[in-house]
């Protein structure tokens, strides 16, 4: 493939994609630095702590087993709904890929400075498809792990195996929570990818808007003075 020709034809989209990835990377570098200073800086850290304390409390008080099963059932239902939503979005994205030639002409009406080639449209749709597939597998894996926790959390003899200890069960539940968060994050990142279908400028603007939104959503409430 002729690299200079590729840069000439798709340079603006390549630059917009690189800039968007850099913006996201800088945000997560900043977020990781804050989390290293304070593990509960983000709402995810607070949720991790809450899940850990919840598992320890439930396993130390067997009378809470019904409440535990109901809570985990609600988690499974939510993750299953999100996995089903991801499946529908995957089907819709595949439908878009089959209409590249006709849709690309109309969707690129507002595309200023970007390429209008059908090949580029397919690449954009593939990126969107991969994003939804990641979301699907994240939610499905979250359901799988919580199904394990449903039985582990009611184990009458947690000392029978080290993986049945309350701390180990809490780690498994936290992995499920992290996967659920990854699935939701994949849905969030689908927004700039969708705007990319209209042109590279829309991708950059949508990425900046998403990062500003995540900066507010990710941070936990500071302690009162």
Is residue 1 assigned to a domain?
no
Is residue 225 assigned to a domain?
no
Is residue 60 assigned to a domain?
yes
Is residue 2 assigned to a domain?
no
pLDDT band at 177 (very low <50, low <70, confident <90, very high): very high
What are the residues whose beta carbons fall under 8 Å from the beta carbon of 65, sequence distance 6 or more?
Answer: 58, 153, 154
pLDDT band at 5 (very low <50, low <70, confident <90, very high): very low
Question: Bigger pLDDT: 102 or 22?
Answer: 22
Q: How many domains does the chain have?
A: 1
What value does the mean pLDDT of the chain take? Answer: 85
Is residue 187 assigned to a domain?
yes
Domain membership of residue 79 as a residue range = 11-218
d(C-alpha 38, C-alpha 12), whole Å: 39
Locate tokens 């603006």: which residue?
A: 12
Q: What is the pTM of this model?
A: 0.87
pLDDT tens-digit profile of 152-161?
Answer: 888 777 677 8
pLDDT tens-digit profile of 203-217?
Answer: 999 999 999 999 999
Is residue 223 assigned to a domain?
no
Do 114 and 108 meet the contact criterion of CB atoms below 8 Å apart? yes
Q: Exposure of 8 by Cβ count < 10 A (0-12 exposed, 13-18 middle, 19+ buried)?
A: exposed
pLDDT band at 176 (very low <50, low <70, confident <90, very high): very high
Is residue 5 assigned to a domain?
no
Is residue 151 assigned to a domain?
yes
Question: Bigger pLDDT: 199 or 134?
Answer: 134
Average confidence (pLDDT) over 138-163: 87
pLDDT band at 6 (very low <50, low <70, confident <90, very high): very low
Average confidence (pLDDT) over 190-211: 91
The reported pLDDT for the residue numbered 116 is 57
d(C-alpha 35, C-alpha 219), whole Å: 10
pLDDT tens-digit profile of 62-97?
Answer: 777 788 888 999 999 999 999 999 999 999 888 877
């Amino acid at each position: 493939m002729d690299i200079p020709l590729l840069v000439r034809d798709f340079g603006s989209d390549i630059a917009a994609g690189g800039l968007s990835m850099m913006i996201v990377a800088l945000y997560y570098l900043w977020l990781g630095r804050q989390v290293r200073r304070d593990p509960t800086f983000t709402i995810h850290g607070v949720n991790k702590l809450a899940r850990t304390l919840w598992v320890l409390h439930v396993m130390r008080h067997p009378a809470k087993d019904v409440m535990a099963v109901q809570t985990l059932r609600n988690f499974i239902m939510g993750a299953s709904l999100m996995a089903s939503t991801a499946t529908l979005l995957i089907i819709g994205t595949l439908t878009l890929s089959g209409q590249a030639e006709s849709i690309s002409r109309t969707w690129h009406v507002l595309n200023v400075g970007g390429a209008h080639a059908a090949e580029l449209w397919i690449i954009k749709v593939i990126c969107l498809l991969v994003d939804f597939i990641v979301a699907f597998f994240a939610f499905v894996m979250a359901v799988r792990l919580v199904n394990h926790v449903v039985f582990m959390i009611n184990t009458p003899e947690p000392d029978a195996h080290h993986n049945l200890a309350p701390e180990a069960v809490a780690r498994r539940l936290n992995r499920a929570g992290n996967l659920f968060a990854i699935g939701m994050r994949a849905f969030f990142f689908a927004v700039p990818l969708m705007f990319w279908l209209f042109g590279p400028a829309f991708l950059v603007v949508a990425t900046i808007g998403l990062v500003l939104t995540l900066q507010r959503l990710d941070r936990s409430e500071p302690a009162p003075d």
